[in-house]
Amino acid sequence: MLIATIIFIPILLTILSSFIKKVKILGMVNAFGYLALLAAFVFFMKDFLAKGSSAVSLWGWIYVDSLSVFFLFTTAVVSFAASVYSIGYIRQEVENSEISVRKASGYFQLFNLFSFTMLMVPVLNNLALIWIAIEMTTLISAFLVGFHNVKESIEAAWKYIVICSVGIAFALLGIIFFYYTSSKDAGVKSLEWASMLSGSGAFDPKIVKLALIFILVGFGTKAGLAPMHNWLPDAHSQALSPVSGLLSGVLIKISLYAMLRFVMLANLSVGYAFSAKIFVFFGIVSIVIAGAFILVQKDLKRLLAYSTVENIGLVSLALGLGPCGGIFAGLLQAFNHAVTKALMFFCAGEAVRAYHGNSMSRMQGMIKVAPFAGTAMFLGLFALVGMPPFSIFVSKLMILISVFNGKHYLLAAIILAFIAMAFAGLLHHISKVVLGNKPNAAQVRKEPLSAKIALVFLGIFILWFGLNIPKPFFDLLVSCERLILGT
C-alpha cells in the first residue's frame, strides 16, 4: 500500500502546482513533497529489506522487487535534490523575466508528471505498460527540453523525441517477439512479469535472441548508449539545469532498468552470456566515442552530457561482465553517477547563470564569481573522474577489478586509455572554468540558499558512499545481482 501512495505524491503535487500562484511558495511546497516522498520511500525500503527482500505485488498491477527498489531509490534521491534546486533556479528565471509566472507553474507541473512517469517504470508489473511509461517519459520531458522555445532548444527537443521514439518502437517489436514465444512455446498468454518469468525456461532461444537485440538496441537508444547517443548531448545541454540533472541522473537509468528486466527474462533460455556480449559491445563503443568527444567540447553542459555517455558506457560494460562480479559494480556506478552528475549539472546551472551562456570560452574564475557552486563543481569534478575518497572511485575500481577477473586484458587497456582521456579532458576544461581570474564583466553573485542545500545534500551521498557503503544498500545490491543472474 505504502508504495502506491508514494508513487502518487507527484500527481498530488501536479494538482497543487496549478493552484499556487506565488513562485517561491510553489517551489517550497514542491520540495517538501519530494522530501516526504524520499522519507516514505526510505521507510518502505527499510521494511522491504527487513522482510528479506521478497517481492511485493499489489492488485496485479504493481510488482516491486530489489531491482525496482534500487532504481526507485535513485529516482527519489535525485528528484528530491532537483526539486530543491528548482526553487531558486525558477525564482531567478522569473526575476530575470525570462519566463512568466504562469510558465513557472507549468514547469512544476511538467516536472512532477516527469517524475511520476519515471517512478511508474520500476513498479509496473506488465512489461508492455513499462514500455508505455518509458515512452511517456520521453513525451513529457520533451517539453522540458524545449522549455525556452528558442531555436536550439526546439531543435534538441525534436531530435530527442524522434530518435527516442524510433528506438522505443524497435523495443516494442522486441516485446512482441517475447510475447510470441511466450504464448507459443511456454503457453503464457500474458505480459505480466511473474507469469512470463515462470514460463521463461521454455522460450525459443532463437526468437529470444532476436527479441533481445531489438530490446537492447531500442532501450539502449533511450539509455544514451553510443552509437545511438546523438540525441543526448543536444537534449541534456538544452534542458533547464535541474531537468538536465534528472535526465542524466535518472531517465537513462530507468531505460537501463527496462533492459535488465528483459535480460532477466532471457536468462533461462539463452543464458546471461548472450546479453553480456551486447552490453560489453555498447559499453566499449560508448566509452571510446565519449572519450574522444570530451576533449573537443566548447560547451560546458555538452561536456557533462558526453561524460554521461562515458559513464553509462562503463555501467553497460560492467553489466556485461556480470558473471565476474560486474553487476554489483555496474549498479553501484549507476547510483554514484546519478548523484554526482546531478551535482555537476546543478553547478553548471549556476555557472551558466553567472556567465550568461553555455560557452566555456567565456567562463573563468567561477570560484570567485560563485564561490559555493564553484567549490562544489571543483570537488564534483574530482568525484566525477573517479578520485578517492569519492564514491565513483569505488565503483570504477570494482569495474576494473571485474575486467581483470574476467582476464580481458586488451579490453582493460582500451578502457583505461579512454578513461584517462576523459579524465584529462574533464580536468582541463572544468579547471579552466573554475580557476583563474574572473573576467571584468562577470559580477559576484549571491547564490540561492536552495542551490546550496541541494549541492550539500548530493555531496553527502558522494562522500558517504565513497567512504563506506551502508550495509542495507550493500545488501540491496547483492540481492539485485542475484536476481539478475537468476541464482
Partner 1 sequence: MMINFLLSGFLVVTFLLVIAKRVTALIRAFMAQAIFLFLYTLYMGFSQLHMELFIVCGLILVLKVIAIPFMLKRIVRRINVEEDLGLLINPQVSMVIALVFTYLSYIFARHTMALTDFAHSAAFIVSLTTVCVGFFLMVSRMKALSQVIGLLVMENGIFLAAGAIAGGMPFFVEIALFFDVFVFIIILEVFVYKVNRLFTHIDTSKMKSLKG
Binding residues for partner 1 (CB under 8 A): 126, 128-129, 132, 135-136, 139, 142-143, 146, 149-152, 154-159, 161-162, 165-166, 169, 172-173, 176-177, 179-180, 183, 189-191, 206-207, 210, 233-234, 237-238, 293, 296-298, 302
Nearer to partner 1, 147 or 335 (CB): 147
Nearer to partner 1, 238 or 267 (CB): 238
Rounded to the nearest whole angstrom, what is the least distance from the CB of residue 271 to partner 1 in the complex? 19
Q: Encode burial over 316-355: b for 16+ CB neighbours within 10 A, e otherwise.
A: bbbbbbbbbbbbbbbbbbbbbbbbbbbbbbbbbbbbbbbb
Rounded to the nearest whole angstrom, what is the least distance from the CB of residue 126 to partner 1 in the complex? 7
Rounded to the nearest whole angstrom, what is the least distance from the CB of residue 185 to partner 1 in the complex? 11
Nearer to partner 1, 16 or 128 (CB): 128
CB 452 within 8 Å of CB 380: no
Residues 6+ apart with CB under 8 A from 96: none
Rounded to the nearest whole angstrom, what is the least distance from the CB of residue 156 to partner 1 in the complex? 6
- According to DSSP, the residues that pair with 299 across neighbouring strands are 359
Q: How many CA atoms lie within 13 A of 136 on its CB side?
A: 18
Q: How many CA atoms lie within 13 A of 128 on its CB side?
A: 10
Rounded to the nearest whole angstrom, what is the least distance from the CB of residue 360 to partner 1 in the complex? 13
Ramachandran bin of 56, using left for φ above 0, alpha for ψ from -120 to 50, beta for the remaining angles:
beta
To the nearest 10°, report the CA torsion of 25, 27, 32, 37: 150
Rounded to the nearest whole angstrom, what is the least distance from the CB of residue 24 to partner 1 in the complex? 29
Nearer to partner 1, 167 or 448 (CB): 167
Nearer to partner 1, 156 or 331 (CB): 156
Residues 6+ apart with CB under 8 A from 482: none
Rounded to the nearest whole angstrom, what is the least distance from the CB of residue 296 to partner 1 in the complex? 7
Nearer to partner 1, 20 or 213 (CB): 213
Element (DSSP H or E) covering residue 64: strand 62-64
Nearer to partner 1, 293 or 423 (CB): 293
Q: What are phi and psi of 100, to 5 degrees?
A: -85, 170
Residue owning grid cell 566499449: 284
